[in-house]
Amino acid sequence: MRKALAQLQSGHRPFLLRDYLGCGSAFPDDEMRYLAPGRRLDVVLSYSGESTPEWQACVEKTVHRYGPIADTISVTLEQNVVPRPNGDTALVQGVVTGRKAADRDGFGRLQIGFDEVARTRPFTQFWQHLAQLGGAEFSRSAGFVGVDLYPDAGLPGIPPEPDLAGFVHQTLHTVRTQEMPIAGLGRDVPIRVSENGWATHTAQRTPAGQARALTTEILAINQDRAAENVASYELFALRDDVTGSPSSFDNFGIMTDDYAPKPMYWLYRGLILTLARS
pTM: 0.96
Structural domains in the chain, sorted by start: 2-275 (3.20.20.80)
pLDDT digit string (tens) for 154-166?
787 777 889 999 9
User: Residue 139, Cβ neighbours under 10 Å: how many?
Assistant: 17
Q: How many CA atoms are closer than 13 Å to the CA of 22, on its beta-carbon side?
A: 6
> Distance (Å, rounded) from C-alpha 134 to C-alpha 75?
14
pLDDT on residue 28? 61
Closest alpha carbon to 38 in 16, 8, 18? 16
What SS3 state is found at 40?
Answer: strand
Q: What are the residue ranges in the chain where pLDDT is below 50?
A: none
Residues pairing with 219 in the sheet = none
Q: What is the pLDDT of residues 16-59, one digit of tens each?
A: 999 999 998 776 667 788 999 999 999 999 999 999 999 999 99
